[in-house]
Amino acid sequence: MGWIIEENKFDSNNIVSNGNKFMTGNGYMGYRGTLEEYTKKELAACNLAGLYDRQGDSWREPINAPNALFAALSVEGRELGIMNMAPIEHSQSLDIKNGIHKRCTVWDTEYGKVKITSERFVSLTDVHMLCLKYTVSTERTCNLAIKTGIDGDVWDINGPHLEEYTVEQEKSLIKVSALTQELKVPVAVAEICERTFEAEESIVKTEKSIFRNIAFKTEPKVQYTIYKYASVWTENDGSKNVLEDCCLSILRASSMGYEKVYSEHIEQWKDRWEASDVLIEGSDEDQLSLRYSIYQLQIIAPMHSSKLSIPARGLSGQTYKGAIFWDTEMFMLPFFLHTAPEVARNLVNYRIRTLEGARKKAEFYGFKGAFYAWESHENGEDACSDFNVTDVFTGRPVKTYFKDKQVHISAAISYAVWETYKFTGDVSLLLNGGAEVILECARFFYSYAYFKEDKNRYEILDVIGPDEYHERVNNNAYTNKMIYYTADAALKTLELLKKEYIKDYQELIAKLDYSKEINNLIKFKEKLYVPEPDENTLLIEQFDGYNRLEDCSLDEVRSRLINPREYWGGGHGVSSTTKIIKQADVVLMLYLFKNEYSNEVKKANWEYYEPRTEHGSSLSPCIYSLLSCEIGNSEWAYPFFVKTSNVDLTGDSKQFAGSIYIGGTHPAANGGAWMSAILGFAGLKVENGEISVNPNLPERWKRMAFKIIVRGEKYLVDITHDNFQVTKL
Ligand code: BGC
């Protein structure tokens, strides 16, 4: 129970959303949940983590590798695909326990019924490997052909990204290799296809693709199966000869045989679930949606590399430029910290490795320290464009200030480093670059801040907070509070190093020329303005002047839209002059700093801001869920949990910002679902290695059980409505 995602009919309207929903992956690549005969038209893609390219002046985005799992059928010379003939039966499913995608389609043709079943996976054992088992049978004797091979004509948003293709066959192997346009990185894909039946096989080559045509005459009801082993390598993987490495990967797999490769892959999934499964009794739907959210995080987790992080749309394609946002630190990191600390460390290492990029960005804007990229690519450079949305009326690009003004990104990264250190107690993180990141972010904020003589305080002016609809505001409460946190973390880091690692301390101070900065930070922290709750209403004003904006309902604002794809924020958006916000902002601050605010303050602000929140970002509902749990109201929290944990199952999320496609998977919401369940309903807290739970399960849940890893020790947490237990394993 609770492990299969399934659809039992074909609806062409769902092709794009199913590509996200039925995705498989392993952190190295994401293979969209498309059917074997799909091409770039149906957005088939094998998206690679961390390898980016730019075509001309357009946005940089990650590469989609040539698709080695392509397979299409012809019956008596006529193509038979789901797009050219309606099936009489069709199912597509994902076994999230084992990371296996399946499909079964039956057509009623003039030659009788023809059936395809397929099973495929992206290996967890060898991250370069993809495998497909494809079986066809017919009701009557007929001439069939399976066209299968490597489709190099890939889907790109701003491509093409690959050039100088070489397409070749060498004995039983077929291969496609190419170079990326911008950095000339070699990318190769190879495939081997085995079968258990006699057929005539010929090779068809095009400029970018190579296919086998496997022609044979069927016997009624006999199953004809092909096994495909494919591999993807790029020079970024440390490969000296990408084609050779591809071949080694697939020859190894083919010598092991499909069943063995399959069972090894499943074993790995078993380990992943052993560490991360959450059992929910009382609601099958919630059980499935939460496991599905965890599955989504597992298939994009960079387990194999400390150079990678997780893009905001996971590995589901090129939307959002495949870039890394604050989503990773604030919404995904907690899951990994509690269940796979080595992945959490990889994610933080990515920010340590890209510190130089953040320094350059700060310098570019005339500041000191580290201003991290709003949309980060492989070396920390900012992929965020100056024009992130397009005006739907004029078609003109609209200047947005996300990159320039969402300074809270540097605070999110300091937060991630410091919280990871506190959670794991592992000082090596600080000593190996983590301390430098925090200090440089604090330095950036000090140089960004304004000292207002008349008010005798530092203010943070001209920023965008989490609510992106209100640009260039002053003293956004969330931002100021996070900056305070960063300054505090920097001072605590310095104190710790000075006390216990004096040599490292001295070296770091000398390297960063930081001695003067220390007094600056002490003063900064003391005099930094952080908006407080109003004495009467208990409300915290989201930013200076928010209270004076037009107070109208969400419906009212929505009714003012002339075009449904209109952008709500920025200079002319329908919500810019109103109190309607895009996503949790003050409420996020109250959640993160829950120990510092009373329940009354939390409640008052939740009640005030929730009706004014569009939840136009998938990052929003989980935060409302989490704060409701803090207030002790799991019934308020529950619908937000349902929303966040179902985001990629229903496909019910924004697909456009202006005229720009922003669809794909939503790993931050997936992480948010885990947080809502574990940190919200279970009320798990880990402080100084001490675990506490304060459960508040939704009515319908009878029991909840999960494991966590804290400082190398594994624990089982088991909760019912009247009891709970934390057991060291
Ligand atoms: C949200 C950001 C988020 C980004 C990527 C935007 O819509 O406003 O907070 O980082 O999407 O998920």
Mean pLDDT of 224-243: 97
Specify the residue with its C-alpha closest to ligand 1, atom 12.
312
Atom of ligand 1 at shortest range from CA of 468: 8
Q: Which residue, chain included where needed, has tokens 């039925």?
A: 22
Residues 515 and 498 sit within 8 Å (Cβ to Cβ): no
Rounded Cα gap, residues 603 and 539, in angstroms: 10
Rounded distance from Cα 189 to ligand 1 centre (Å): 33
Residues 283 and 703 sit within 8 Å (Cβ to Cβ): no
Q: Give the pLDDT of residue 661.
A: 73
Rounded distance from Cα 474 to ligand 1 centre (Å): 20
Q: Is 427 exposed, middle or buried (0-12, 13-18, 19+ CB in 10 A)?
A: middle
CA 244 to chain centre: 31
Rounded distance from Cα 351 to ligand 1 centre (Å): 18
| Lowest model confidence (mean pLDDT) among 183-197, 587-601, 643-657 | 643-657
Three-state SS annotation for 500-535: HCHHHHHHHHHHHCCHHHHHHHHHHHHHECCCCCCC
Mean pLDDT of 403-419: 98
What's the Cα-to-Cα distance from 216 to each of 137, 195, 235, 411, 596, rounded to whole Å?
A: 12, 12, 39, 62, 72
Model pTM? 0.97
Q: How high does pLDDT run on average in the chain?
A: 96
Mean pLDDT of 442-456: 98
- pLDDT class for 657, splitting at 50, 70, 90? low
Q: Give the pLDDT of residue 285.
A: 97
Rounded Cα gap, residues 607 and 291, in angstroms: 30
Q: Is the pLDDT of residue 660 over 80?
A: no
CATH code of 4-274, in short, is 2.70.98.40
Please name the helix (run of DSSP H) or strand (run of DSSP E) that holds residue 267, with its range, or none.
helix 258-276
Q: Is 7 exposed, middle or buried (0-12, 13-18, 19+ CB in 10 A)?
A: middle
Q: Give the pLDDT of residue 413.
A: 98
Specify the residue with its C-alpha closest to ligand 1, atom 7.
617
Q: Is 565 exposed, middle or buried (0-12, 13-18, 19+ CB in 10 A)?
A: middle
- Classify domain 281-728 by CATH architecture: Alpha/alpha barrel (1.50)
Q: In this prediction, what percent of the chain has a pLDDT beyond 70?
A: 99
Atom of ligand 1 at shortest range from CA of 668: 12
Rounded Cα gap, residues 300 and 48, in angstroms: 10
Mean pLDDT of 408-430: 98
Q: Is the pLDDT of residue 359 over 80?
A: yes
Q: What is the DSSP letter of 685?
A: E
Specify the residue with its C-alpha closest to ligand 1, atom 6.
617
Task: Look up residue 463 and give its amino acid.
Answer: V
Parallel, antiparallel, or unpaired: how do β-strands 724-728 and 713-720 relate? antiparallel
Atom of ligand 1 at shortest range from CA of 657: 7
Give CA angle at 316 (155, 403), nearest 5°.
Answer: 95
pLDDT digits (tens, 9 = 90+) for 675-716: 999 999 999 999 999 999 999 999 999 999 999 999 999 999
Q: Give the pLDDT of residue 663.
A: 87
Q: Give the pLDDT of residue 622.
A: 98
Rounded distance from Cα 662 to ligand 1 centre (Å): 10
Q: Give the pLDDT of residue 655.
A: 73
Task: Look up residue 473 and give its amino acid.
Answer: V
Q: Which mutation among 581, 617, 622, 660 tests ligand 1's pocket best, with the greatest number of atoms within 8 A of CB?
A: 617
Q: Give the pLDDT of residue 652.
A: 79
Q: Give the pLDDT of residue 659.
A: 62
Residues 602 and 631 sit within 8 Å (Cβ to Cβ): yes
Specify the residue with its C-alpha closest to ligand 1, atom 9.
466
- pLDDT class for 389, splitting at 50, 70, 90? confident
Rounded Cα gap, residues 638 and 641, in angstroms: 5
pLDDT digits (tens, 9 = 90+) for 558-579: 999 999 889 999 988 999 999 9
Q: Give the pLDDT of residue 658.
A: 63
Q: Which mutation among 300, 309, 310, 325 tests ligand 1's pocket best, with the greatest number of atoms within 8 A of CB?
A: 325
Q: In sequence order, what are the residues at sequence separation of 6 or more whose Cβ sits closer than 8 angstroms to the Cβ of residue 575?
A: 469, 470, 557, 568, 569, 581, 582, 614
Q: Give the pLDDT of residue 654.
A: 73
Rounded Cα gap, residues 583 and 62, in angstroms: 27
The token duo for 501 is 């690692």
Q: What count of other Cβ atoms lies within 10 Å of the Cβ of residue 225?
A: 16
Q: Is the pLDDT of residue 3 over 80?
A: yes
Strand stretches in 29-66, DSSP E: 29-31, 46-53, 61-65
Mean pLDDT of 476-488: 98
Specify the residue with its C-alpha closest to ligand 1, atom 5.
312
Q: Is the pLDDT of residue 588 over 90?
A: yes
Rounded distance from Cα 492 to ligand 1 centre (Å): 30
The token duo for 327 is 């989503």
pLDDT digits (tens, 9 = 90+) for 103-156: 999 999 999 999 999 999 999 999 999 999 999 999 999 999 999 999 999 999
Phi first, then psi, for residue 243 (nearest 5°) are -70, -40
Q: Which mutation among 402, 619, 656 tests ligand 1's pocket best, with the greatest number of atoms within 8 A of CB?
A: 619
Atom of ligand 1 at shortest range from CA of 654: 7
| Lowest model confidence (mean pLDDT) among 78-87, 295-304, 311-320, 650-659 | 650-659
- Computed on alpha carbons and rounded to an integer, the radius of gyration of the chain in Å comes to 27
Q: What count of other Cβ atoms lies within 10 Å of the Cβ of residue 239?
A: 17
What residue ranges do the domains of the chain occupy?
A: 4-274, 281-728
Rounded Cα gap, residues 32 and 45, in angstroms: 6
Rounded distance from Cα 619 to ligand 1 centre (Å): 7
Q: What residues line ligand 1, using a CB cutoff of 6 Å? A: 312, 320, 325-327, 466, 468, 582-583, 617, 619, 668
Q: Is the pLDDT of residue 1 over 70?
A: no
Q: Give the pLDDT of residue 50.
A: 97
pLDDT digits (tens, 9 = 90+) for 600-642: 999 999 999 999 999 999 999 999 999 999 999 999 999 999 9
Q: Which mutation among 468, 581, 648 tests ligand 1's pocket best, with the greatest number of atoms within 8 A of CB?
A: 468
Rounded Cα gap, residues 415 and 222, in angstroms: 60
Q: In this prediction, what percent of the chain has a pLDDT beyond 90?
A: 95
Of the residues 375, 436, 468, 614, only one is catalytic, namely: 468
Specify the residue with its C-alpha closest to ligand 1, atom 11.
617
Rounded Cα gap, residues 190 and 202, in angstroms: 17
Q: Give the pLDDT of residue 651.
A: 84
Rounded distance from Cα 103 to ligand 1 centre (Å): 33
Q: Catalytic annotation on 453?
A: no
Mean pLDDT of 238-259: 95
Q: DSSP string covering 164-185, please?
A: EEEEEEETTEEEEEEEETTT--
Mean pLDDT of 14-36: 97
